[in-house]
């Protein structure tokens, strides 16, 4: 017996999410752009990628490219900070200006 789901999966850009400041953000505002969604963490071996991600964002944002950072603590506890701590870390250490959620 096979069961078919009647629920439709949402596309990522159909979602509304809370940004790092707690504001509701419709990802639909990025439709038509090249969107790079990246899992980030401040205590990870890949943390220096913030430099390259920011450089990509700065270089191509006027051409319709956006980086969206998604901090997550569910990989070995590598992002234990609060939203405010994460935001300050990204700004002070890597001058991050791309959207973080």
Residues with a catalytic annotation lie at: 44
Contact 35, 68 (CB under 8 A): yes
User: β-strand 24-26 against 34-40: which pairing, if any?
Assistant: unpaired
The backbone region for 76, taken as left when phi is positive above 0, alpha when psi lies in -120 to 50, beta otherwise, is left
């Amino acid at each position: 017996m096979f069961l078919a789901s009647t629920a439709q999966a949402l596309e990522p850009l159909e979602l509304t999410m809370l940004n790092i400041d707690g504001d509701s953000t419709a990802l639909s505002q990025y439709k038509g752009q090249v969107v790079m969604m990246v899992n980030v963490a401040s205590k990870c071996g890949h943390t220096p990628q913030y430099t390259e991600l920011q450089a990509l964002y700065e270089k191509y944002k006027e051409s319709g490219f956006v980086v969206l950072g998604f901090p997550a603590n569910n990989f070995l506890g590598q992002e234990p900070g609060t939203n405010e701590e994460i935001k300050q870390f990204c700004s002070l250490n890597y001058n991050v200006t791309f959207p973080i959620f």
